[in-house]
Amino acid sequence: MSNIIIDPPVSPSKKTLTVITWDMGHNPLGRSYLIADMLKDIYDVELVGALFPRFSSKLWEPLRHEKNIKIRTWPGSNFPEYYQRLAQEVGNIKSDIIYVSKPRLPSLALGLLLKAIKNKTVILDIDDYELSFFKEGEEITSTSIGQ
């Protein structure tokens, strides 16, 4: 599987912002794209994330031919191998601001690495409806974590 790169021109006068999506092969990319599209007039924006074969090895079809926002993907894999790829991506992301959309482990881990290693400003866009996709109905309390 090869990386996908769509690369429009970058303005040297704007700050840069990277929107991280946990999977670029299906609908999480939709929300990330809307955020990137709204911010592209203020920032030089790139949209990045993995393509996990479990979902798709291709960019989500509605955005497959997008030309107005820089889009970069890499092959997803299972943990712990995926952490090696995240370490590589930390070096590839040069943005001033990191925006993690609908954070799940693949995107949240990258955002936290960028904060820890490069002290980047990280914004978490938590979609509170995300939990509606899971059948588990019990809440997790701070005392139950780690049990």
Per the CB < 8 A criterion, the answer to whether 114 and 120 are in contact is yes
Per the CB < 8 A criterion, the answer to whether 101 and 27 are in contact is no
Residue with tokens 């203020």: 42
Q: For residue 106, give every residue at least 6 positions away whose Cβ sits within 8 Å of its Cβ, in sequence order, or none.
A: 22, 23, 49, 50, 52, 76, 82
What pLDDT is recorded for position 75? 94
pLDDT digits (tens, 9 = 90+) for 43-85: 999 999 999 998 899 999 999 998 889 999 999 999 889 999 9
- Number of residues that make up the chain: 147
What pLDDT is recorded for position 80? 86
Query: pTM for the complete prediction?
Result: 0.80
What pLDDT is recorded for position 61? 92
Low-confidence ranges of the chain (pLDDT < 50): none
Strands of the sheet containing 70-75, edge to edge, are: 5-6, 70-75, 44-51, 16-21, 97-101, 121-125
